[in-house]
Amino acid sequence: MNLKERVLGEVAENFKCVEEISELNTLKVLEAMRRLKISDAHFKTSTGYAYGDIGREKLDELFAEIFCAESALVRTQFVSGTHALATALFGILRPNDELVSLTGEPYDTLQTVIGYSHAAKGSLKEFGITYRELPLINGKVDLAAIKHFITPKTKLAMIQRSRGYSMREPLTIADIEKICAEVKAINPDCVTFVDNCYGEFVETREPVEVGADIVAGSLIKNIGGGLAPTGGYIVGRKDLVELASYRLTAPGMGNELGASLGTPRLLYQGLFTAPHVTAQALKGAIFASGIFSKLGYKTRPLPNDIRGDIIQAIELCSAEKLIAFCRAIQSFSPVDSFAVPEAWDMPGYEDKVIMAAGTFVQGASIELSADAPLREPYAVYLQGGLTFEHAMIGILGAAQELEAL
Ligand SMILES: *Cc1c(COP(=O)(O)O)cnc(C)c1O
């Protein structure tokens, strides 16, 4: 039996679990759309200030419903996930407030927002917000240390659900529940904030349901279903989402302005397909883990591990292999298959980054994509795939390319 058939046989049970979760999440989204009576009228374009845009207002309601949150802010005016996350942080934090990370080093772009290694222009550090972080132990959150780490002074605790560009483990919803409980036991006023990128619809519950006060993410990852053309979202406690809205627009304006331009239907339709598309991406990740572990590479998660996000990390151990892998994924893309990815100084990142994203929506990592900072252990982070069939073709293509090196 060839490698593909062997791996497919071994992961059949995992695929079944993924399909069950997709079914439950599809039901959740459908029920919310029925309850809120979504209609063609909500897909209309608005212009200018867009006061009273019912499509924008309804979409906020719909996200709030699906995330079990009091309030939501879903906008194409967020230029990326980082922008949504930064908007929440800048909206809530004030000079002399203390921000902490409970999941070790934050994602690369968030480090720049914080003013992590140097006070980047416009960073939180420049505004007098202090920062501390709780290091991970063996890639896991140091739960027992939280009670000594959070103080009565800590204003906001940041929790990153996904592994991002690191070999740490992603958090499950059960992990997030434990972390939030530890924080609230010490300081009930400390805001629990979850970076939800790549985590949406991987499980049947979302962070607000287990104690997160505010959550933010990108629309060109899981929750946009591959159809959202751009944007981000923030969901959570009403007072906190309101503070973020004043940072996105202006004090006094908040969520009441913002034109939908040409996009509202795609945001609704993308949300509707998101549970299924997330499942396709998860199957691709499980398949990749199976193939590359059989070829002798260290993969995280392993094919049978519980997953907290859609990212598959594969340690390729050399820059040469890393670059070859990304080039192969690019060449098996429906868009820009002829382009040859190069490592470059991406805005917001400290190391050079190489990205394969032959995607319909530029840089959308819910579509089959691979990226990596050029640093030890030369791990590539593979994610997405609008269809499992495409993910499989790309992964087998990359495997063949590496074997030929
Ligand atoms: C993708 C991602 C972000 C935001 O990245 P953008 O490219 O700005 O959308 C933040 N945190 C994590 C963990 C991510 O994976």
- Residue 261 pLDDT: 85
Pocket test for ligand 1, best of 76, 79, 82 (most atoms within 8 A of CB): 82
Task: Find the 8 Cα to ligand 1 centroid distance in Å.
Answer: 30
Task: Find the 350 Cα to ligand 1 centroid distance in Å.
Answer: 14
Residue 351's pLDDT band, with cuts at 50, 70 and 90, is confident
Task: Find the 246 Cα to ligand 1 centroid distance in Å.
Answer: 22
> Which ligand 1 atom sits closest to the C-alpha of 198?
15
Asked whether the domain spanning 41-261 has the same topology as the one spanning 3-23+271-404, the reply is: no
Q: Which CATH architecture has domain 41-261?
A: 3-Layer(aba) Sandwich (3.40)
> Which ligand 1 atom sits closest to the C-alpha of 218?
9
Task: Find the 220 Cα to ligand 1 centroid distance in Å.
Answer: 10
Compute the mean pLDDT over every residue in the chain, rounded to the nearest whole number.
96
Residue nearest to atom 6 of ligand 1 (CA): 81
> Which ligand 1 atom sits closest to the C-alpha of 195?
11
Say if residues 228 and 272 touch (Cβ distance below 8 Å). no
Task: Find the 109 Cα to ligand 1 centroid distance in Å.
Answer: 7
Residue nearest to atom 2 of ligand 1 (CA): 197
Instruction: Tell me the per-residue pLDDT of 255-293, one tens digit each, with 9 for 90 and over.
Output: 999 999 888 999 999 999 999 999 999 999 999 999 999
Is a pLDDT exceeding 80 seen at residue 244? Answer: yes
Average pLDDT, stretch 312-323? 95
CATH number assigned to the domain covering 3-23+271-404: 3.90.1150.60
Residue nearest to atom 15 of ligand 1 (CA): 164
Residue nearest to atom 1 of ligand 1 (CA): 197
Task: Find the 197 Cα to ligand 1 centroid distance in Å.
Answer: 6
- Structure tokens given for 390: 């495409």
Residue 347's pLDDT band, with cuts at 50, 70 and 90, is confident
Residue 1's pLDDT band, with cuts at 50, 70 and 90, is low
Model confidence, pTM = 0.96
Task: Find the 64 Cα to ligand 1 centroid distance in Å.
Answer: 21
> Which ligand 1 atom sits closest to the C-alpha of 348?
8
Instruction: Tell me the per-residue pLDDT of 35-45, one tens digit each, with 9 for 90 and over.
Output: 999 999 999 99
> Which ligand 1 atom sits closest to the C-alpha of 220?
9
* Maximum alpha-carbon separation in the chain: 65
Task: Find the 117 Cα to ligand 1 centroid distance in Å.
Answer: 19
Side chain identity, residue 165: Y
- Residue 307 pLDDT: 96
Average pLDDT, stretch 171-188? 98
> Which ligand 1 atom sits closest to the C-alpha of 163?
13
Say if residues 263 and 229 touch (Cβ distance below 8 Å). yes
Instruction: Tell me the per-residue pLDDT of 127-148, one tens digit each, with 9 for 90 and over.
Output: 999 999 999 999 999 999 999 9
Task: Find the 51 Cα to ligand 1 centroid distance in Å.
Answer: 30
> Which ligand 1 atom sits closest to the C-alpha of 164?
13
Residue nearest to atom 13 of ligand 1 (CA): 164
Each domain of the chain, given as residue ranges in start order, spans 3-23+271-404, 41-261
Residue 74's pLDDT band, with cuts at 50, 70 and 90, is very high
Task: Find the 370 Cα to ligand 1 centroid distance in Å.
Answer: 14
Residue 311 makes CB contacts below 8 A (sequence gap 6+) with: 162, 163, 164, 170, 198, 285, 381, 382, 383
- Residue 118 pLDDT: 78
Is a pLDDT exceeding 80 seen at residue 348? Answer: no
- Residue 119 pLDDT: 75
List residues near ligand 1 (CB under 6 A). Answer: 80-82, 85, 107, 109, 160, 162, 164, 195, 197-198, 218
Instruction: Tell me the per-residue pLDDT of 277-286, one tens digit each, with 9 for 90 and over.
Output: 999 999 999 9
> Which ligand 1 atom sits closest to the C-alpha of 161?
13
Average pLDDT, stretch 72-90? 98
- Residue 135 pLDDT: 97
Is a pLDDT exceeding 90 seen at residue 220? Answer: yes
Task: Find the 403 Cα to ligand 1 centroid distance in Å.
Answer: 31
Average pLDDT, stretch 322-339? 97
